[in-house]
Every structure is written in structure tokens, then in C-alpha cells.
Amino acid sequence: MLNFLDSHLRYKSGAPHSLRHMIRYIARATKFIHHAIKTSDLGLAGTSNLFGEEQLSLDVLADRIIMDNLKVSGLVANAISEESEEETVFEHELKDETYSVAYDPLDGSSLVDTNLAIGSIFSIYKSGPFIGKTGREQVAALYAVYGPRTTLVYTTGKGVHEFTLNDVYEYSLTREDIKISDTSKYFAPGNLRAAQDNPKYKKLVDDWMLKGYTLRYSGGMVPDLNHILLKGQGIFTYPPFPPKYPNGKLRLLFECNPFAFLMEMAGGASMIPAVSSP
């Protein structure tokens, strides 16, 4: 019975009941997004997000599905999404311990129309203002991959575990205690254009190629990092690219912090680009 998400959370996650219960609502939201990707409109919503990026109807729909599930859980004090301008503070009566959730409802939007794998990313903290929170304060991180199979990978600080959505919409355990080795033969060099005027990055990528490493890069952060976790090896980069992305494009709160937590819990390492560059 340990091989379903609910029982795994109960007996292996070490998480308190409130956190386990809230993660179940996140898992529930990913099932609706899994369905929406197959059935809804893939076009533009006609709106843009805080970062000035055009939103797909699917970005907006995924955002609403997640926000609705966080609200109905009754365990989220406040939530912030890559796709919405403001933080949402829930006014409902809060029972039990509550959480703050930062999420990227649909990562890889530019890949949706080409049928490449995309994902959702979630970063969970004990409740409180997001300003000033650091990645080290996360109590859980998880992501879903919507590809040939829909999978959910979570950590609550006790290992990294993968579940696969089955035909009756249950998440069953497919990998437990995922580990990343110290050596690698794969590289995922994001933002390669930055190598033109970043000699250190150019030298790094040249070295990887001279060593005969295998390139594995789709342009979707979720499948690209999922590849590293499931192969147990690899390096992913996305360096700054002035003037468009002086601190790098990937968002600390919605993308880098949760993946840094997951990678470190699997024995990997992370260098947040806003703090250090290659």
C-alpha cells in the first residue's frame, strides 16, 4: 500500500498531517491540469504576466486550477504565482498549521504548441510573508511533468520520490529516494546565446563538449531537470544574459528555489544564478 502518494506521504514523508493534506490538494490540481492540457485551447490568452511574457489560456487556466485547490485546502495562508501580479492572501478561517505556496503553474509555455513536455513547480514554506524568505526555509518542493506520462516528484526533506499518474488517476510510486551521482555525462546548457559575450560560459560548454558529454536540453526547465534527477546525473545551466536578463531569466521564488531544494535532497548541488555565475 506504500506505493500510492497518500500512503507514501503518511508513512515516508515525515511531514505533519497539515502539510501532507495540503500536498494532496496540489496533486489534485495537477490532475486537472493534466486533463486541461489534453482538452483545452492552446492559444494566447491576450494577457501578459508580471514579467511581460504573453500568457497562454493554459497558463491562466492552470493558475486558476492551482489557486482554487490551495484555497479549498483551508491550509494555505497566502500564495503567489508566476502568472499573477499580486500575492493572494486567503481570508478563510485557518485551521491547523498553515503554509505559504509559491508556484509556476505552467513551466515551458513556449513548448505547449509543439507537444513537448511541460510542467508545474511548487515551493512550500511555513506561512508568513514571501519577502525575505530564503530557499533554505522551504518545507517541501514538488513538480509535475506533463509528458508521455504525467508524473509528480516531491520532497519534504526526506528523500526525493516520483509518482506516475495511472489510468484511474491515482499517483503510484515509480521511484523512491532518487539520488544524483557526483559524476555526469549529460549537460543541459540553457541560454547558450549568452556564451557569445560570456567567455567563462563559452569555455565551460566547450569543455563539456571536449569531454564528450551528451547534450540533453529541451528548453523546458521541468523536463530538463527531471532528466537529471531520473538519470541520476547531469548539469543544468541558465546564465545571466544582459541586458534582457541581467540576473538570469529563471525566477528564484517560482523555479530556482524549489529545484535547488529537490536537487540537494537527491544529493546534488545548486548555484542560484542571482548569487553566483559560472
The cell 545551466 sits on which residue?
237
Among the listed ranges 65-73, 87-95, 195-203, 214-222, the one in contact with ligand AHG (CB under 6 A) is 214-222
Q: How many CB atoms lie within 10 A of CB 180?
A: 21
Is the peptide bond prior to 243 cis by the omega test (within 30 degrees of 0)? yes
Quick check: 104 binds Mn ion (CB under 5 A)? yes
How many chain residues are in contact with ligand AHG, going by CB under 6 A?
14
CA 189 to CA 192: how far, in whole Å? 6
Is the peptide bond prior to 239 cis by the omega test (within 30 degrees of 0)? no
- Binding test (CB under 6 A) with ligand AHG, winner from 122, 238, 259, 261: 238
Longest CA span, the chain: 59
Binding flags for Mn ion, 48-87, as an x/- string (CB under 5 A): ----------------------------------x-----
Quick check: 189 binds ligand AHG (CB under 6 A)? no
Distance (Å) of CA 190 to CA 43, 103, 125, 172, 194? 25, 21, 28, 31, 9
Quick check: 188 binds ligand AHG (CB under 6 A)? no
Binding flags for ligand AHG, 88-127, as an x/- string (CB under 6 A): ----------------x--xxxx-----------------
Quick check: 249 binds ligand AHG (CB under 6 A)? yes
Quick check: 224 binds Mn ion (CB under 5 A)? no
Give min distance, CB of 151 to ligand AHG, in A.
17
Q: What is the CA radius of gyration of the chain?
A: 18
How many chain residues are in contact with Mn ion, going by CB under 5 A?
4
The β-bridge relationship of strands 235-237 and 171-175 is unpaired
3-class secondary-structure state, position 195 = helix
Q: How many CB atoms lie within 10 A of CB 115?
A: 10
- Binding test (CB under 6 A) with ligand AHG, winner from 120, 191, 237, 257: 191
CA 138 to CA 40: how far, in whole Å? 33
Choose the contact partner of 201 out of Mn ion, ligand AHG, none; CB within 5 to 8 A by kind: none
Binding residues for Mn ion, rule: CB under 5 A, are: 82, 104, 106-107
> What is the binding site for ligand AHG (CB under 6 A)?
53, 82, 104, 107-110, 190-191, 219-221, 238, 249
